[in-house]
Amino acid sequence: MFRIALKMLFGDRTKCIILLSALTFSSLLMTEQSAIFCGLMRWSTALLQNSNAKIWVVDPQVEQINETTPLRDIDLQRVRSVKHVKWAMPLSWTIIQAKAKSGEFLQIQLIGLDSSTLAGAPRNLLEGSLLSLLQPKTVIIDQLALERLSKRKNSSIDLGDVFEINDIEARVVGVCKTQRHFFNYPFVYTTYPNSLQYRPKQRRMLNFIIAEPHEDISPKVVAEQIQKETGLKAFTERDFFWSTIWWVFENTGIPIAIGTTIILVFLVGLCVSGQTFYSFVVENIAHFGILKAMGLSNKKLIHILLIQAFSVGLAGYGMGIGLASLFGWSVLYKGFPPFYLPYELLFIVFASIVSICLFSVLLAARKITSYEPGEVFKQ
Amino acid sequence: MNSQEIAVHIEHVYKNYTSGHSIVHALKDISLDIYKGELIMVVGPSGSGKTTLLSLVGGTLSFNSGEISVFDNPLHTMTEEELTLFRKDHIGFIFQQFHLIPTLTTAENVAIPLLIHQVPWEKALKKAEETLEHVHLFDKAPCLPKELSGGEQQRVAIARALVAEPRLIICDEPTSNLDATTGKKILEILRSIANGSKRSVIIVTHDARILDYADRIAEMDDGAIKEIHT
């Protein structure tokens, strides 16, 4: 009966196209909106992803990585003194204005790395050398900075070129690839002492202490130990990630805005698919009735409905994911808007499409199971 | 009539409908025996209960009291699942509106009862084509129902009713949408089914032109069998 079920559905081209479109667009929009949301969440934790550190120590008031209260310099020594801490290094982060060769101003995120170890340096260096950062007034810029500093014609910037940060010259010694940040400002890396030169003076200049536990000791245990002994807040990389994500959930309208869209898309998909499938069954009720009269059980009829709903559901899901991936590929190429499609999202969207199909089958099954085969004689 | 063996035994059957607050007595104390190899026609005015009787014998409708046995299967004791199995194994249906599935080819429509019996697709289609040959429509096997005339569609419906070799064929107004010549051809096929294979055929009809083909005619009025003509 598998082929009969499919031929019944695909033979009704109008209904089939409406169903397929509803499921494709539901799948596409749910995937695309969720991927944009995941992309935004990745952007909001870009600092974490760009700096490879297992433990992050911050002021006790800090809840998320993009809003820091500076620490005292002595805190670095206090963290280093905690048992099982293999190393602890300073990391500064600030948003500051830079002046391109063309005279144009732009906002950058300046990261100051420990000058002896360069701990927290970008993971993916495309050009130049990290060690060149040890020279005075040198920086490594990311691709976004490269693009923005080279925005004007005849002002493209290259290794060895100079621009200004807070009226102090900065020579480019490397280009790296970074995770783009929520603020959409490019990252510029220098050493911690250099960053103190570039930044306007403040009483406290140390934003983060990054640390690593000894081998065989869990970062979680060491983070708890740091908190206990120093009174500072210490996160593992994972905990800081989720703390930041939850902060975004609780303090911004982004999850509500995108979540509402996703829920509405789901509901529209549910209604359109359910209604279309139901009307397909109602229009074909005599044919289902004949099958019933000829001895097809309610259970088998529900199998037929499931085959019909899931075949169109799977096709719609596949097409939706395909279109969303195409969209993702095009935006990743441009780098904007944020887009991140983890495999878990594919399962969630699949589950949503399955629930839409099941809802449609449920609606239609009620109609079919309550239909008396004897009614066929009245049709 | 080929035999006096009873195929369908109907005894004191009552069927009531509720319509709003009133009760409609659709069938009142119906008793009738239908024999193997017999072609019986049920006639009567609209609302006399012909189709209701047909539905009860076909196991597609429940009744309030009485007994109906079809090939010794007591329908009055069967559950819905058992009735479904019973219809699958014993009954072939032919409807006034043909009720062919428009998106399936002629052969696929005919193959449906076999597919319900879980016969593999290719085998079912082959058997469907053979059955179509019996109703002289082998060449129409790949056509869609909309490409066939009314008479051809009804012959396809007959092939569909016959393909799983049921022992009882139930026909609801099989000729009412057809012209006289086509109607006659359809009745000849149904007559030969009853004669040739000891199948019983029950036909509900308004069509006086086909009454000559019946072994017996049960005349109904107001939910009761008024008279049986031989």
Contact B116 A12 (CB under 8 A): no
What is the DSSP secondary structure assignment for residue A206, as one 8-state letter? B
The burial of B153, by beta-carbon neighbours within 10 Å (0-12 exposed, 13-18 middle, 19 or more buried), is given as buried
Answer yes or no: pTM beyond 0.90.
no
- B108: which chain A residues are within 8 Å (Cβ-Cβ)? 3-4, 7
Query: What's the ipTM?
Result: 0.85
- A378: which chain B residues are within 8 Å (Cβ-Cβ)? 51
A372 close to B (CB below 8 A)? yes
Strand-strand pairing, A105-113 and A187-191:
parallel
pLDDT of residue B1: 46
B145 close to A (CB below 8 A)? no
Tens digit of each residue's pLDDT, chain A (379 residues):
788 888 888 888 888 888 888 889 888 888 888 888 888 888 889 888 888 899 999 999 999 888 888 899 899 999 999 989 999 999 999 999 998 888 888 899 999 999 889 998 988 889 998 899 999 899 999 988 888 888 765 667 788 888 899 889 999 999 999 888 888 899 999 999 999 989 888 888 899 999 999 988 999 999 999 999 999 999 999 999 999 999 988 888 888 888 888 888 888 878 887 888 788 888 888 888 888 888 888 888 899 889 988 898 899 999 999 999 998 888 877 777 888 888 898 999 899 888 888 888 888 888 888 888 877 777 6
Torsion angle, alpha carbons of B45, B47, B51, B55, to 10? -160
Contact B87 A287 (CB under 8 A): no
pLDDT of residue A103: 83
**Dihedral sign from CA coordinates of B178, B184, B189, B191:** positive
Choice among A325-329, B111-115, B159-163, B193-197 with the minimum mean pLDDT: B193-197
- A373: which chain B residues are within 8 Å (Cβ-Cβ)? 60, 87
Facing residues of B91 across strands?
Answer: B168
Q: Which residues contact A22 (CB under 8 A, 6 or more apart)?
A: A268, A269, A272, A273, A276, A316
A369 close to B (CB below 8 A)? no
In CATH terms, B6-229 corresponds, of 3.40.50.1820, 3.40.50.300, 3.40.50.620, 2.20.25.240, to 3.40.50.300
The partner residue sitting opposite A295, judged by closest CB among B55, B103, B116, is B116
How far apart, in whole angstroms, are the C-alpha atoms of residue B63 and residue B14? 6
B60 close to A (CB below 8 A)? yes
Domain ranges of chain A: 2-43+253-378, 72-231
Name the residue of chain B whose CA is nearest to A4's CA.
B104
The answer on pLDDT for B138 being more than 60 is: yes
pLDDT of residue B2: 45
Segment A11-19 long-range contacts (CB within 8 Å, at least 24 positions apart) = A11/B102, A11/B103, A11/B104, A12/A280, A12/A283, A12/A284, A12/B103, A15/A276, A15/A277, A15/A279, A15/A280, A15/A283, A16/A312, A18/A272, A18/A276, A19/A273, A19/A276, A19/A277, A19/A280, A19/A312, A19/A316
Q: What are phi and psi of A267, to 5 degrees?
A: -65, -40
